Amino acid sequence: MKAVILDDYNSMPVIGDIAIPEIGPDDVLVRVVAAALNPLDVKLHGGVLQDYFPIEFRYVVGTDLAGRIEAVGANVTDWEKGDRIVARLDPVRGGACAGFACVPAKYLAKVPDTIPLETAAGIPTVAGTAWQALFELGDLKAGQTVLIHAGAGGVGSFAIQFARAGGARVMTTVSGDGIDIAHRLGADHVIDYRNANFAENLSDIDLVIDTIGGETHQRSFGVLRRGGKLLALVAPPDEALANAHNVTADFVFHMSDGERLVRVVSAIAENSINILTDRIVSLDAFSDAFARQSSGCARGKIIVTMA
């Protein structure tokens, strides 16, 4: 089968031929329709996460995939050949950007017919992270106000829509064409961070989802109400600043979780959530897709089709 292979840190992933993986008794074999790229793939490529994700070469790129089940392991009873699924693989193992993937059955979620498999591949990591931040760690409630940084990105675009569906009031920071995107996604108040300082315009926020870090992270503490919460996705939060502002702060570390993914896919289908897509490309255009992901300029998901 064809697969996107990384042979060493910082070397360009290449398309090559490898054997179809064998599955264990608790796994399924998925014929991959599409895989989505994430910032994590760029970090793994650069070797900056070796302490957390010690990958082995040859490494098949990608964690997020959608496809159809081709075969099931001996212990798998809830799935059968032909089922439409989405999954997030263990980043250490990778394997999404390939014709077939071995997926532990516990990571699977069924994809309803209303969601195309090509775009469903863009769900697992970013939608799961947004859900985890908003509702599991952030405990966001209807009527509360949330500030979501980078609302036109992968996590931000889902966070805007999930928060709105949950009855929250949504603020977001964006720039350029992200302004129109954020309005279309349902944000109540959109701030062009290139022309306005969000820290001077907002206050009494219940929850901040920080997808940027750096100076944005530092300034975000000041917009929270007393007792509010900041959730950082880039690096562990500044505890001293949190204490100084009488708020709490946590780091969002997203792990593959099939039960969460089932809830996320259900929420997307029930609320007609838009899967914001930057581009969908064929496998032979992977290098261009990876360059786009590495640029940090993508609006939503970059998806690679395997057919």
What are the domain boundaries of the chain? Answer: 2-123+275-305, 126-251
Contact 31, 121 (CB under 8 A): no
pLDDT, position 48: 86
What stretches of 152-282 show up as alpha helix (H) in DSSP?
154-165, 178-185, 198-201, 214-220, 239-244, 258-270
Torsions phi, psi for 194 (to 5 deg)? -80, -20
Please tell me what DSSP assigns to residue 134: I
Contacts for 289-294 with beta carbons within 8 Å, 24 or more apart?
289/37, 290/12, 290/13, 290/37, 290/41, 290/42, 290/45, 293/37, 293/38, 293/39, 293/41, 293/42, 294/42
| Whole-structure pTM value | 0.95
For domain 2-123+275-305, give the CATH number.
3.90.180.10
pLDDT at 297: 85
Intervals of the chain under pLDDT 50: none
The size of the chain, in residues, is 307
Give the pLDDT confidence score for residue 51 in this predicted structure. Answer: 82
What pLDDT is attached to residue 34? Answer: 98
Residue 307: per-residue pLDDT: 77
Which overall architecture, per CATH, does domain 126-251 show? 3-Layer(aba) Sandwich (3.40)
Where does residue 259 rank: exposed (0-12), middle (13-18), buried (19+ CB within 10 A)? exposed
In DSSP notation, 210-227 reads ESS-HHHHHHHGGGEEEE
Neighbours of 78 (CB within 10 A): 10
CA separation for the pair 112, 40 (Å, rounded): 27
Alpha helices in the chain (DSSP H): 39-46, 117-120, 124-131, 154-165, 178-185, 198-201, 214-220, 239-244, 258-270, 286-295
β 2-6/64-72 pair status:
unpaired
Phi then psi for residue 196, to 5 deg, are -150, 145
**Domain 2-123+275-305 identical in fold to domain 126-251:** no
Report how far residue 93's alpha carbon sits from residue 1's, in angstroms, rounded to the nearest whole number: 17
The alpha carbons of the chain give a radius of gyration, in whole angstroms, of: 19
**Neighbour-count burial of 59, counting CB atoms closer than 10 A to its CB (0-12 exposed, 13-18 middle, 19+ buried):** buried
pLDDT of residue 286: 97
Provide CB contacts within 8 A for 278, sequence distance 6+: 292, 298, 299, 300, 301, 302
Q: How far apart are CA 208 and CA 248, in angstroms?
A: 11
- DSSP annotation of 285: G
Going by the DSSP 8-state scheme, the letter that residue 135 receives in this structure is I
CA distance 166 to 130: 13
